[in-house]
């Protein structure tokens, strides 16, 4: 299976997730989310899909649901530090 076959398979999967009459609406909502014009929840609502279905749809379109920003690395360090300070319970 080459890269084009994989992409066509992803497109087929995304179309199977969305009703034929709602494909344009879902695609527009995904585009607005990707361009940061709509939040995840607003885009899901606009698409007519449930939040979990919309996240799956975005995944099939290779659109990141979470995009790290400048604070992400520092937040991860803080989380790691906090987690390492917790006592490990013995089972």
Ordered by start, the domain boundaries in the chain are 3-85
For the stretch 40-60, pLDDT in tens is: 999 999 999 999 999 999 999
Q: Exposed, middle or buried: residue 43 (CB in 10 Å: 0-12, 13-18, 19+)?
A: buried
pLDDT at residue 81 tops 70 = yes
Q: Which two tokens stand for residue 47?
A: 């698409």
- Of the candidates 41, 40, 49, the one whose C-alpha atom is nearest the C-alpha of residue 17 is 49
pTM of the predicted structure, to 2 decimals: 0.62
Q: Exposed, middle or buried: residue 15 (CB in 10 Å: 0-12, 13-18, 19+)?
A: middle
Q: What percent of the chain has pLDDT over 70?
A: 76
């Amino acid at each position: 299976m080459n890269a084009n076959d994989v992409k066509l398979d992803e497109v087929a999967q995304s179309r199977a997730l969305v009703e034929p009459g709602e494909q344009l609406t879902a695609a527009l909502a995904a585009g607005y989310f990707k361009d940061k014009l709509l939040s995840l929840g607003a885009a899901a609502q606009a698409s007519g899909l449930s939040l979990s279905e919309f996240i799956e749809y975005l995944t099939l379109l290779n659109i990141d649901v979470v995009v790290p920003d400048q604070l992400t690395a520092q937040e991860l360090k803080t989380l790691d530090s906090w987690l390492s300070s917790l006592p490990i319970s013995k089972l």
